[in-house]
Amino acid sequence: MDIKNLKVNGKRLRSTLEEMAKIGASPGGGVQRLTLSDEDKTARNLFVKWLKEIDLEVTIDEMGNIFGKRPGKNNDLAPVMSGSHLDSQPKGGRFDGILGVMGALEVMRSIHENKIETERAIIIVDWTNEEGSRFAPAMVASGVWAGKLDRDWAYNRTDINGKKLGEELVRIGYKGRAEAGKWPIHAFYEYHIEQGPILEKLGKTIGAPKGILCLHWYDIHLTGTANQVGPTPMEGRNDALCAGAEMILKVNEAPAKMGGNMVATVGEIHNYPNSRNIIPDGVHFTVDIRSWDDDFAIKAWESLKKDFQKISRRRGTPIRIEETWRVEHAPFDEKLVNRVLESAGELGYTSHYLVSGAGHDASYMNQIAPTAMVFVPSIGGRSHVEVENTTWEDCEAGANVLLYCILKSALEK
Ligand SMILES: [Zn+2]
């Protein structure tokens, strides 16, 4: 079959994305659709309805992952899979994750209406809780599915109000019966916005990441001594927030100290009791370290840990460190990455080979199946914010590349 004349319907993709963006629409033009919230449930219901409209076999597994399968001629062959996530950050954007699911849906719709028969089955997927902002860590359900995280451990993750992930799955009616366990996958493609400035800066339409940086998360808890701020002299205070402040700057300085090749960020901090006239006696903050080199990232962490311990001793604020989560760096499948570049070329789009600094479900998928991603430009390089944006032309271009990639893999015997 010649796929050369086949294209997705850009207008339909746009209206699908616009309809999805109404669910949890936020005043600043973004969306707030936290995982397993009522908004997530509404989005899932709409997604499942759309899957059924094109006769896909819908399966929901015990982690709430939603699969829509289109059989091939030979269903003994491993299927091709594509998708991303429908959940968003608090006050997040309309494209992060959603584009990858709606893009794959548009591919499925195009294949369906053109009555294309593929050798292998094609499966579209929505992974539960990719963002990790309500329940840490991120990418938890693809991690369980890939056999890299424990299911019951995932069920017991709690949000800020003490609600458990497993209970919330039941509450919104998406704890399915199918086992969240991997099966052989011939190729996995995740279509996503770049979430960085590179493609826009270079004026390129399609990005083909060679892989994803490693991602290491830590949680730091400090204990101080609370007291009235007025009568308590400066000497001898055990101020947990001051200890935290020193540590946070050490994190920010770490990449330069290590000579580059990594980024390190503190993005979340909780200060207790958080009162202007009480010396803080409890601080919890997070550390996020990413690099292409896992050992290098661990070396940086070991050095930070020593700094933290010194600061905590000097300030008399005992420290507790949790090594919360580590995902190794993910070098994608060379053949599939080249297929992304080659498909972009065939479609007449400019393209660029790069690295993904953001984590994606593709990280876990890459550990069990040949994997690649398709990126399109983020306007201003902004993401995880309400102004996150990508042109409709680029959304369509990426979906066309995804269509080519999926078909080429699904036509393979
Ligand atoms: Zn995402």
Q: What is the rounded distance in angstroms from the CA atom of residue 191 to the CA atom of residue 204?
A: 16
Residue 152, amino acid? D
pLDDT value, residue 144? 98
Token pair of 176, please?
A: 């399915």
The per-residue pLDDT for 402 is 98
How far, in Å, from the CA of 410 to the mean position of ligand 1?
Answer: 24
Q: Examine the pLDDT at 89 and tell me if it is beyond 80.
A: yes
Q: Rounded distance, CA 364 to CA 144, Å?
A: 9
Q: How many CA atoms lie within 13 A of 53 on its CB side?
A: 12
Distance, in Å, from the CA atom of 404 to the CA atom of 262, rounded to the nearest integer, reads: 34
136 alpha carbon – ligand 1 mean position (Å): 15
CA distances from 298 to 29, 138, 323, 355 (A): 39, 19, 11, 20
1: confidence class by pLDDT, cuts 50, 70, 90: low
Q: How far is the CA of 223 from the centre of ligand 1 (A)?
A: 34
pLDDT single digits (tens) 229-275: 999 999 999 999 999 999 999 999 999 999 988 999 999 999 999 99
Cβ contacts of 348 within 8 Å, gap of 6 or more: none
Q: What spacing in Å lies between the alpha carbon of 246 and ligand 1's midpoint?
A: 31
pTM, to two decimals: 0.90
Closest CA to 364 of 84, 75, 58: 84
- pLDDT at 5 (0 to 100): 86
Q: What share of the chain is helix, strand, coil (3-state, %, to 5)?
A: 35, 20, 40
- DSSP assignments along 301-322, one per residue: HHHHHHHHHHHHHHHT--EEEE
CA–CA dist 413, 411 (Å, integer): 6
Q: Are strands 66-70 and 122-126 parallel, antiparallel or unpaired?
A: antiparallel
Give the integer Cα–Cα distance in Å for 132 and 138: 4
Q: Please give the distance, rounded to the nearest whole angstrom, from the Cα atom of residue 138 to the centre of ligand 1.
A: 10
Going from the Cα of 233 to the center of ligand 1, the distance in angstroms, rounded, reads 48
Radius of gyration of the chain (CA): 23
| Interval between CA 131 and ligand 1 midpoint (Å) | 7
- How does pLDDT run across 371-411, given as a tens digit for each residue? 999 999 999 999 999 999 999 999 999 999 999 999 999 99
Please state the rounded mean pLDDT for residues 311-319. 98
CA distance 61 to 69: 13
State in Å: Cα 84 to ligand 1 middle: 7
Within 10 angstroms of residue 7's Cβ, the number of other Cβ atoms is 15
Residue 42's φ and ψ, nearest 5 degrees, are -60, -45
DSSP 213-251: -EEEEEEEEEE----BTTTS-STT---HHHHHHHHHHHH
Q: In angstroms, what is the span from residue 192 Cα to ligand 1's centroid?
A: 7
Q: Are 308 and 250 in contact (CB under 8 A)?
A: yes
Cβ–Cβ under 8 Å, residues 191 and 125:
no
CA-to-CA separations, 227 to 101, 278, 373, in angstroms, rounded:
52, 5, 53
Question: Rounded distance, CA 360 to CA 353, Å?
Answer: 17
The string of pLDDT tens digits covering residues 101-113 is 999 999 999 999 9
273 preceded by cis ω (within 30°)? yes
